[in-house]
Amino acid sequence: MKIVVIGGTGLIGRKVVGKLNDRGHEAVPAAPSTGVNTLTGEGLAAVLDGADAVVDVTNSPSFEPSAVLDFFTTSTRTLLAAEQTAGVAHHLALSIVGIDDLPDNGYFRAKVAQEQLIKQGPVPYSIVRATQFFEFVKGIADTATEGDTVRVPPVLFQPMAADDVAEAVAGAVVEGPLKGTIEVAGPEVFRFDELIAEALRAWHDPRTVVSDPHARYFGSEPAERSLVPDEGRARLAGTRFEDWLRRSS
């Protein structure tokens, strides 16, 4: 299969390209740096010529609510229209577990809008919702930091390795259109505050983690299960946080 990976030069995209090529497919990375722009349509017709499927793992350059909404809606409309013209048979998008439950989060609202466009669009689709990545734990802690204190809600958290996310995406696009959504998550459930504290200790980071039930997560106050999939619903990845943390440290 020829599979075009939009956002194929990023953290997940590079891994998806590698995994698909390893399976014998022709995976083509597409991004502004390769001459493909999903906002303007530049380069799309050429890269989609002969493509069997498209994987969209793009990310907005801005997290400002109106900018991120414009990015995902404009990009998705442009991409779906180009896929329809090219005769692409499968559109797969990477999304996030829990986006329906945190409406105060502008990024999550934009991802909901993206999913709606895909579901209503002309191309058979699959949506893979993943939990947060281990690789984002430090950035999450930095965002929650006030002085030397990291305020984190004591809710459930089930992150996964970026490599496992890419494996799930590569597997799903090869399986063919689901015309639905699957969820993927790490193999272990943690308390959010306890996982952040464990990571900071491993990194010899002197900041203190404070458990705060009203602490916000990128603008929203999550409930107990806002950040984890429904029990028994998700496909669980294999990499444990402790093992990843040991390697990263």
Residue from 6, 7, 5 nearest 17 by CA: 5
Please name which of 55, 89, 208 lies closest in space to residue 141, comparing C-alpha atoms. 208
Single out the residue of 171, 89, 157 nearest to residue 128, CA to CA: 171
Strand partners, 184: 130, 235
Q: Quote the pTM value.
A: 0.95
Q: Over the stretch 117-158, which tens digit does the pLDDT of each residue have?
A: 999 999 999 999 999 999 999 999 999 999 999 999 999 999
Dist. CA 228–CA 155, nearest whole Å: 9
Predicted pLDDT at 63:
87
Say what percent of the chain tops pLDDT 90.
92
